[in-house]
Structure 1
Amino acid sequence: MIVGIDLGTTHSLIGRFDAEGPRLFPNALGEFLTPSVISVDDEDHIIVGQAARDRMVSHPASSVASFKRWMGSARDTRLGTRNFRPEELSALVLRSLIADAEAATGEKVTEAVISVPAYFSDAQRKATRAAGELAGIKVERLINEPTAAALAYGLQAQRDGARFLIFDLGGGTFDVSILELFDGVVEVHASAGDNFLGGEDFLDVLEEAFCADNQIQANKLAPGERGQLRRRLERAKRELTHAAQASVDVSLGERQIVWSIDEETYTRRCDGLVQRLRAPLERAMRDAQLQPSQLDEIVLVGGASRMPLVARVVSRMFGRLPLRHVNPDQAIAMGACVAAGLKARDARLEEVILTDVCPYTLGVEISRRDERGQIQNGFFSPIIHRNCTVPVSREEVYSPMHDDQPQVRLRIYQGENPMVERNILLGEILVPLERGIPKDENGVRLRFTYDINGVLQAEALVLRTNQRFELILEQNPGLLSQEEIRRRLAELEHIKIHPREKQENIAVLARAERMYEEHLHHRDLVQGWIAQFRMTLDSQDELVIREHRKQFMGALDQLESQNG
């Protein structure tokens, strides 16, 4: 079975394309959204999802979230007795999603289409593929999130020549893409974005406002207190999407603080983030060489796009109201399911063809001679410019700087700066030259080929000898080699993960422990409930456990509603 997956910063979803169209699968708690959070309990068992999210408050040192932002880096996170790379943490989320899909269908998941931010770099895309391998599936394709959103909205069924702007603001990343439909082809004309801008940053603004008004230093709060504060602020942020004012009632140490903020004040405090939203929008429009009046539709997706300030900035820039009728949290996943249907060659989708663009300019470092004949190093020579439709292949010819130069070092970069020091090094090819080549003679032809999965192949041809040299991008700093992936896959196989059928029990206990941490005046009551439920679990009587769990959850709901 091939599935579509939205591997998100804050939440992840999984589904497939079947006879009824795109269909999402619920997790063990009956929810479509699985929090992208990992935690480790005292026995070194892995916990994924809502229970792990609750443990962010009660066990912050053994829990981690937002690791999608670290994809493509070599960052390690210590949980329990071992370190985890971002790919491994993402793989654990993928495994949980796959278990949900297999439980819902009774079929084995073997392949997946995974959505990624359009502005993900080559290293981040490779890390996402590695996460799939570590989860035991073949990543059939990576689809850019805005392209997935277009599929979710059925934009491929619009008239020829229709142009759409997809605005995707998730929990941790922001993307904007401009698409055009022509003769059954959905073609991406331009993409831009910010990999470090999302709903979490707007929550940070709310936290800064709360701390400033109440003379609190957030970094001096106990981890559990700060986790509790951010949960209350997240609730207030959601309240501001449909109300003019929101309030927070929270206990921090000896202080009981009641604080409120209105939507106008919050919008003003977010002005810096709003400007960061505008920049990629303007850049994508420039790259596509379009005016706002030439767009047929503007689509908002991503959970953070629910904020009124987001709809206002888009409406003001483009002079119209955007579309938001598909659930913003589910749109990317629904589109990934359609893309999975395309890969599975579903008969209803065979006329739809997707294209994408290269999100970054790709090029090589060169040297130049100034007017005095002095050599200056470190210049960037683009070969594939950003927003070229992929797959794409381009080549340039380069000459040695000196007579009888023994070799040419071709250093491959991605970025938009004219100097390589401000771009990202992807790798290099060391090309030996035949003796006797004079400077300024065409020495090496360098060809870049960038495919629809974001994989770059660089091939250098020595023109005198026809010798060919290829860049092995797996050797990029921060990326796992195939040997390392195999080793870590074997290690992950031995990690103890709580079985899916126990997830509801784990989740209700984690929620109770989080509420024990938050509600100082009800600790004896909550502790008693926890003890009673643990005794029921020891009975191993599923009927009794199910009934007690229902009562336990109802009691927690009532306590939480009474105490905010």
Structure 2
Amino acid sequence: MATIAIDLGATYSSVCVYENNVPKLIPNSLGKYITPTVVSILESENIVVGEGAKLNTNTSKLASNFIQYLGTQTRISVDDKSYTAVKMTSFLLRSLKNDAEKYLNTPVTEAVITVPTHFNDHQRHAIKFAGELAGLYVSKLINAPSAITLNYITQKNISEGTFLIVDFGGNSLGVSITSYFNGIIEVISSNSNTRIGGQYIDKIIAEYFCENNGVDFDKLSYSEQIILLQKAEIIKKILSKSPYAFLECEINEKTYNLNLSETILEQLCNKLFEKCIALIRKTITESFIAMSEINDIILVGGISKLNIFRNYLDNNLKIHHTLFNPDTAEVFGAGHFLGNSQITITDICPFSLGVATYINQIDKIPTMTTIIPKNHILPVSKCSTFYTLEDNQTDIKIEIFKGENYLLEKNEKLDEIIINVPPNKAGKEFVKVYFSYDINGVLKVDTLSSDGDKKSLIIADKSLYFSKARLNMEINKLDKVKFAYLQEQDFITNLIKQADEIYAEAGGDNKIEISRALEFFLTQMQTNSEVKKRRLLNWFFNFIEDMKTNIEDKWNGFII
């Protein structure tokens, strides 16, 4: 029995196996190493996946873009039937599994699969369930930037470094800062935009074609739009290798054509590329790493092959970039993971987790207090304390939410716990809330009131289908990480004490700057990222040393 590595892409997928100390791509039934993420269900109910499915001219029997609907209730219509995204994904995974078994001549029962960093727990669990339906035990989900980094450092034989990953695929743009240090690959910060990608460039080309030929794209039939978009994709690929391309398409029995150049395409894509640069700058800012500290920009995904995109990055970022196996970087990284036990890959929390908080008992606009912030390294355990609001209050309701909004109503409620406290004056009694979150998307909430009352809650996506024994095993793992990083507390306490002493002697604007920096430091130190924490401690130490002179410069210098 064998284990395979899969890059489950929104537009293209691939599979490999680790053999003779290297990852080796597995060909599909057509002998190709890249399989379009497309499924076609024929009238006989036979299923065709990949290139064969794309050749089906009856577009009502085609399904694509279903990966983006994993973890949702959206159903995909194929002919007169509808399917869940999990079911469609299981068809794709089964096809890849069959290809692997034919190539390896042995049963394949297990897989590691790469996923976008922005995928939430519902999406990740949906992939695992799709794997189960396909006859695969998904033993590990690897964040795409981690896999890309592993492939890069392995093939380049790099001992350590910090990297900017720009993954511009068919359906989304992902930007991440990763580091490799002491045998650990870590995602320091990550952002994505699921509204820009190669398919959007296809539509830009198709709409430009229609505009130049006096045709209204929106008034074309669905089949005509699909055919034109497919031709636009071909033109886009040609322009990745040639400065000119010619597009011809028949619409309503009339032939239209267009000559397109790299220069024109660059102008058409300018706003799209601007969004890319903005996302890159945001990710760098959130990582607390200067551009000068980044060792390389690693470009992957189909759009990275376009000269106009790489030139745009060069002109705006002024740093060396590497176009490194854009089609296979993820699957090779997952393949290296299968054969490399010396390197540890960490995971991150794709969203913030917190509880509802109120200013007083009549507060009509509650907010979310974050306990585990987005991009936090997993597994993790964090604790916060919450106090009573009313005199003689006898219980505290802990409402658990996930999301990135400050206002509670815009975030998603997961569950709640009501825990008893002894009656007393407002603010005298409290409850300690512990959040423990693991790489499988299981959140354990423990509460302990001021008089010793205890309650616990497990929040896990119902699509996990864990057995009780498996769930208990995951809970035991979580219990082991609760008191990590406490050894740094003495050093942190000393820094805060020094800052407080200088604050007491300062006046005017200096007090504002010091309090701002203190609040920022305490908030950001909630991270479990060793790289980020080291940089924060170093910055705050230097800030304290120079606090009495050039305070504003020190603050701004860190943000930049």
TM-score norm. by structure 2 comes to: 0.78
Report if the CA contact (8 A) 2:352-2:372 is conserved. yes
How far apart, CA to CA, are the structure 1 residues paired with 2:133 and 2:450? Answer: 41
How far apart, CA to CA, are the structure 2 residues paired with 1:245 and 1:442? Answer: 72
Deviations 1:359-385 (A, max 9, x none): 33222222224xxx8524331211112
Does 1:382 pair with 2:383? Answer: no
How far apart, CA to CA, are the structure 1 residues paired with 2:244 and 2:60? Answer: 33
How many pairs does the alignment contain? 465
1:52 is paired with a residue whose SS is helix
Selected match of 1:358 from 349, 353, 356:
349
Query: Which residue number in structure 2 is paired with residue 457 of structure 1?
Result: 444
How far apart, CA to CA, are the structure 2 residues paired with 1:241 and 1:391? Answer: 41
How far apart, CA to CA, are the structure 1 residues paired with 2:368 and 2:410? Answer: 10
2:323 is paired with a residue whose SS is coil
How far apart, CA to CA, are the structure 2 residues paired with 1:217 and 1:298? Answer: 40
Kindly provide the amino acid, as one letter, of the partner of residue 350 in structure 1.
Answer: S
Q: Displacement of 1:156 after TM fit?
A: 8.5
Kindly provide the amino acid, as one letter, of the partner of residue 378 in structure 1.
Answer: P
Query: Which residue number in structure 1 is paired with residue 517 of structure 2?
Result: none
Q: 1:295 and 1:434, CA in 2 relative to 1: closer, same or farther beyond 3 A?
A: closer
Gaps of 5+ in 2: 467-560
Selected match of 2:332 from 331, 334, 344:
334
Q: 1:409 and 1:102, CA in 2 relative to 1: closer, same or farther beyond 3 A?
A: farther
Does 1:140 pair with 2:123? Answer: no
Q: Displacement of 1:68 after TM fit?
A: 1.1
How far apart, CA to CA, are the structure 2 residues paired with 1:43 and 1:404? Answer: 70
Does 1:482 pair with 2:465? Answer: yes
Deviates more, 1:77-86 or 1:293-302: 77-86
Report if the CA contact (8 A) 1:403-1:437 is conserved. yes
Q: Displacement of 1:106 after TM fit?
A: 1.7
Does 1:368 pair with 2:355? Answer: no
Query: Which residue number in structure 1 is paired with residue 22 of structure 2?
Result: 21
2:322 is paired with a residue whose SS is coil
Kindly provide the amino acid, as one letter, of the partner of residue 19 in structure 1.
Answer: N
TM-score norm. by structure 1 comes to: 0.77
Q: Give runs of aligned pairs for residues 16-55 of structure 1, distance below 5 A.
A: 16-55=17-56
Query: Which residue number in structure 2 is paired with residue 472 of structure 1?
Result: 459
2:218 is paired with a residue whose SS is helix
Does 1:152 pair with 2:143? Answer: no
Larger relative contact order, structure 1 or 2 (CA cutoff 8 Å, min sep 6): 1
Query: Which residue number in structure 2 is paired with residue 281 of structure 1?
Result: 280
Kindly provide the amino acid, as one letter, of the partner of residue 460 in structure 2.
Answer: L
Q: 1:431 and 1:205, CA in 2 relative to 1: closer, same or farther beyond 3 A?
A: same
Query: Identity over aligned residues, as a percent?
Result: 29
2:215 is paired with a residue whose SS is coil
Deviates more, 1:395-404 or 1:150-159: 150-159
1:110 is paired with a residue whose SS is strand
Deviates more, 1:383-392 or 1:298-307: 383-392
Deviations 1:281-308 (A, max 9, x none): 1122112211111111111111221122
Q: 1:24 and 1:156, CA in 2 relative to 1: closer, same or farther beyond 3 A?
A: closer
Kindly provide the amino acid, as one letter, of the partner of residue 28 in structure 2.
Answer: N
Q: Give runs of aligned pairs for residues 207-356 of structure 1, distance below 5 A.
A: 207-326=206-325, 328-341=326-339, 349-356=340-347
1:320 is paired with a residue whose SS is coil
1:26 is paired with a residue whose SS is coil
Deviations 1:303-323 (A, max 9, x none): 221122321233234313311
How far apart, CA to CA, are the structure 2 residues paired with 1:403 and 1:52? Answer: 67
Deviates more, 1:445-454 or 1:400-409: 400-409
Q: Displacement of 1:329 after TM fit?
A: 1.0
Query: Which residue number in structure 1 is paired with residue 527 of structure 2?
Result: none
Deviations 1:443-490 (A, max 9, x none): 332222232345443333444343222142325xxxx4739xxxxxxx
2:108 is paired with a residue whose SS is coil
Kindly provide the amino acid, as one letter, of the partner of residue 416 in structure 2.
Answer: I
How far apart, CA to CA, are the structure 2 residues paired with 1:227 and 1:272? Answer: 24
Q: Displacement of 1:258 after TM fit?
A: 1.1
How far apart, CA to CA, are the structure 1 residues paired with 2:23 and 2:221? Answer: 44
Query: Which residue number in structure 2 is paired with residue 560 of structure 1?
Result: none
How far apart, CA to CA, are the structure 1 residues paired with 2:311 and 2:50? Answer: 33
Query: Which residue number in structure 2 is paired with residue 395 of structure 1?
Result: 383
Query: Which residue number in structure 2 is paired with residue 205 of structure 1?
Result: 204
Deviations 1:426-453 (A, max 9, x none): 5112324356365434433222223234
How far apart, CA to CA, are the structure 1 residues paired with 2:294 and 2:180? Answer: 12
Q: 1:450 and 1:173, CA in 2 relative to 1: closer, same or farther beyond 3 A?
A: farther
Report if the CA contact (8 A) 2:178-2:185 is conserved. yes
Q: Give runs of aligned pairs for residues 1-150 of structure 1, distance below 5 A.
A: 1-55=2-56, 58-80=57-79, 82-150=81-149
Q: 1:195 and 1:262, CA in 2 relative to 1: closer, same or farther beyond 3 A?
A: same
Query: Which residue number in structure 1 is paired with residue 193 of structure 2?
Result: 194
Q: Displacement of 1:140 after TM fit?
A: 0.8
How far apart, CA to CA, are the structure 1 residues paired with 2:28 and 2:159? Answer: 39
